[in-house]
Structure 1
Amino acid sequence: MPQRRTVTSRSQEPRQRFAEEVRRLREERGVSLRQLAEQLGWDPSTLAKLERGQTLGSPEIARALDDYYGTPDLVLAMWELAVADPTQFKERYRRYMVLESEAVSLWHYAVANLPGLLQTPAYARELLGAGGLTGDDLEVQVEARTRRRGLLTADGAPRFRTILSEVVLRTPLRDAKSWRTQLEHLLDMGHRSNVFIQVLPQTAGLHGLSNTNTMFLRGVNARTVAWVETGYSGELVQEITAVEKLQLSYDSVRDLALSPDESRKFIERMSEECRAEQADVA
């Protein structure tokens, strides 16, 4: 087996080093982008973007390049370094947004906050404000998040399932009226044929996604990727084995959750409790 090679690129930025190495390997082999694309079965425009540093591609394409050049794990290792670089978070999130807009189905699990696709403007404003946004920046983000909700109501909308930890529903907005509006919005969305909302009771105990907000996105090519997010960062998971492991954890959580009908009744009770509290205050 060929020895793993040392990266000789002079660039110290992981993304640029990845692009330089991909380009160098092709030039050393003496093939054009089109010839390489024909050999690998990938779109030549995708390979061109890799070499220009415009995209990082996927682990599958990194492995395909390693197989073609006979460089065991070299390209894949550089891809992993580039993806792990904290400066790439914004690009990963932009990539996630593209995948979300193109998905035919989305499966979601929420640890502490409602998914953006189900947030009212008031909920989005308070949540984003708590994260440090203020003024015009805050309003721009609230407007962007509100527009995203149209994904679930447009013609040909994807199927969307979210499993909400009970903690999500036990963490109200400061304004009781706004919180009740949010709960009623959940009930309205839950009546749509493409939206399924389930509640995971606190009595379910610990599970494989206890501290991870997760969204699975299935594309038109039947391939599924996952977006895993904490309060401080997010990661786009594309490697097949890692995605399958997350899906097994998601399936286990789904088994523990209330059915959509039971969950609707749970949210209705919370809405009525909120209404009663408002009446008492009045």
Structure 2
Amino acid sequence: MPQRNAVTGRSQEPRKRFAQELRRLREEKGETLQQLAEQLGWDASTFGKLESGRNLGSPEIVEALDQHYGTTPMLMALWELAIRDMRQFKAEFRPYMVWEAKAVRMWHYAAENLHGLLQTPAYAREFLAAGGMKGEELATQVDARMSRRDLLFGGDAPAFRSIISEFVLRTPLKDPAEWREQLQDLLDASELDNVTLQVLPASVGLHALTNTDTMFLQDDTNQTVAWVETGYDGELFEETEDVRRLQLRYDRVRDLALSPDESREFIRRLLEEVPCEPST
């Protein structure tokens, strides 16, 4: 059921409400995004992402906007509510979701399964069910995962790179038709200007990130964190030295991966190998 709006017509969902208020305040002041950017010192695209709801930004930006519009502390309060509104995601993954919401650049290594931003509904459902989810909880988590996919689309979408282990691409879904759909979805995603997919061949053997799914997220202040996931839980690394060591490992893995063009061809060949459903 769609989120109800209050009598004001404004959304009661925190993230949407935050974006709506930002746009309303700017338009009431009669400013363009470019004019706002020139006054506050951030790129116009940054404010565009905030107003579209694609990015939540940083507390520094929100504080500057509160001062600019004379609304202190209203916008900061709305921002904090939006950051905290991660109830649809399991508690242990909420620190990651906060960073995903504000990232302008993400780079990832998939050791055992596709990243959630690249999963089709069928893949997400089968993957989560294999972990023991079922019923309403499963449906809720699949919906939450699918709601994140919009992040990769649009002119202000973050740059996203995923290096995918060949093992992931040779672990099909039970239904061949659904697996074909997932492989085709990867090919479609790889054509997006902001998305780069690379395949890491099994022939490279053991490497620096074996069995460790790793995501790096960078915000618009150039702060970078790393999220390391083992399949059972995850850990957010924020210390510069920890992130640097993980980044060096990632760079070594990237050097071993196929080029984006070679990777697309690899996925196309896999797609051709998947049997089509028999005609009726």
User: Would you call these one fold, judging by a TM-score over 0.5?
Assistant: yes
> Is the 2:120–2:182 Cα contact (8 Å) retained in structure 1?
yes
1:255 aligns with 2:255: yes
> Is the 2:105–2:217 Cα contact (8 Å) retained in structure 1?
yes
Query: Aligned equivalents of 1:175 and 1:160: distance in 2?
Result: 28
Quote how far apart the aligned CAs of 1:102 are. Answer: 0.5
Q: In the TM superposition, what whole-angstrom CA distance separates every residue of 1:145-175 from its partner, at most 9, and x where no partner exists?
A: 0110110013400000000000000000000
> Is the 2:177–2:277 Cα contact (8 Å) retained in structure 1?
no
Partner of 2:178: 178
> Is the 1:92–1:236 Cα contact (8 Å) retained in structure 2?
no
For 1:180, the aligned partner's letter is: R
TM-score by length of 2: 0.67
Query: Aligned equivalents of 1:147 and 1:172: distance in 2?
Result: 23
Partner of 2:164: 164
Query: Aligned equivalents of 1:267 and 1:130: distance in 2?
Result: 24
Partner of 1:196: 196
Partner of 1:209: 209
> Is the 1:237–1:243 Cα contact (8 Å) retained in structure 2?
yes
Query: Aligned equivalents of 2:131 and 2:91: distance in 1?
Result: 20
Q: In the TM superposition, what whole-angstrom CA distance separates every residue of 1:107-164 from its partner, at most 9, and x where no partner exists?
A: 0000110000000000000000001110111001001101101100134000000000
Quote how far apart the aligned CAs of 1:211 are. Answer: 1.6
> Is the 1:184–1:271 Cα contact (8 Å) retained in structure 2?
yes
Partner of 1:104: 104
For 2:227, the aligned partner's letter is: W
SS of corresponding position for 1:208? coil
Bigger helix share: 1
Query: Aligned equivalents of 1:232 and 1:147: distance in 2?
Result: 22
SS of corresponding position for 2:148? helix
> Is the 2:92–2:233 Cα contact (8 Å) retained in structure 1?
no
Partner of 1:122: 122
1:154 aligns with 2:154: yes
For 2:125, the aligned partner's letter is: R
C-alpha spacing 1:153/1:245, structure 2 compared with 1 (3 Å):
same
> Is the 2:163–2:254 Cα contact (8 Å) retained in structure 1?
yes
For 1:278, the aligned partner's letter is: C
For 2:193, the aligned partner's letter is: S
The 5-angstrom pairing of residues 130-149 of structure 1 reads 130-149=130-149
C-alpha spacing 1:281/1:235, structure 2 compared with 1 (3 Å):
farther
Query: Aligned equivalents of 1:253 and 1:202: distance in 2?
Result: 12
For 2:152, the aligned partner's letter is: L
Quote how far apart the aligned CAs of 1:280 are. Answer: 6.8
Percent identity, aligned pairs only, is 58
Quote how far apart the aligned CAs of 1:189 are. Answer: 0.4
Query: Aligned equivalents of 1:258 and 1:183: distance in 2?
Result: 17
For 1:203, the aligned partner's letter is: S
Structural RMSD (CA): 2.1
Partner of 2:242: 242
Partner of 1:69: none
SS of corresponding position for 1:278? coil
1:219 aligns with 2:215: no
Partner of 2:265: 265
Runs of 4+ in 1 over 6 A off after TM superposition: none
Q: In the TM superposition, what whole-angstrom CA distance separates every residue of 1:14-52 from its partner, at most 9, and x where no partner exists?
A: xxxxxxxxxxxxxxxxxxxxxxxxxxxx98x9xxxxxxx
Unaligned runs of 5+ in 1: 1-41, 46-54, 56-88
C-alpha spacing 1:279/1:137, structure 2 compared with 1 (3 Å):
closer
> Is the 1:166–1:201 Cα contact (8 Å) retained in structure 2?
yes
Unaligned runs of 5+ in 2: 1-58, 64-79, 81-88
For 1:131, the aligned partner's letter is: G
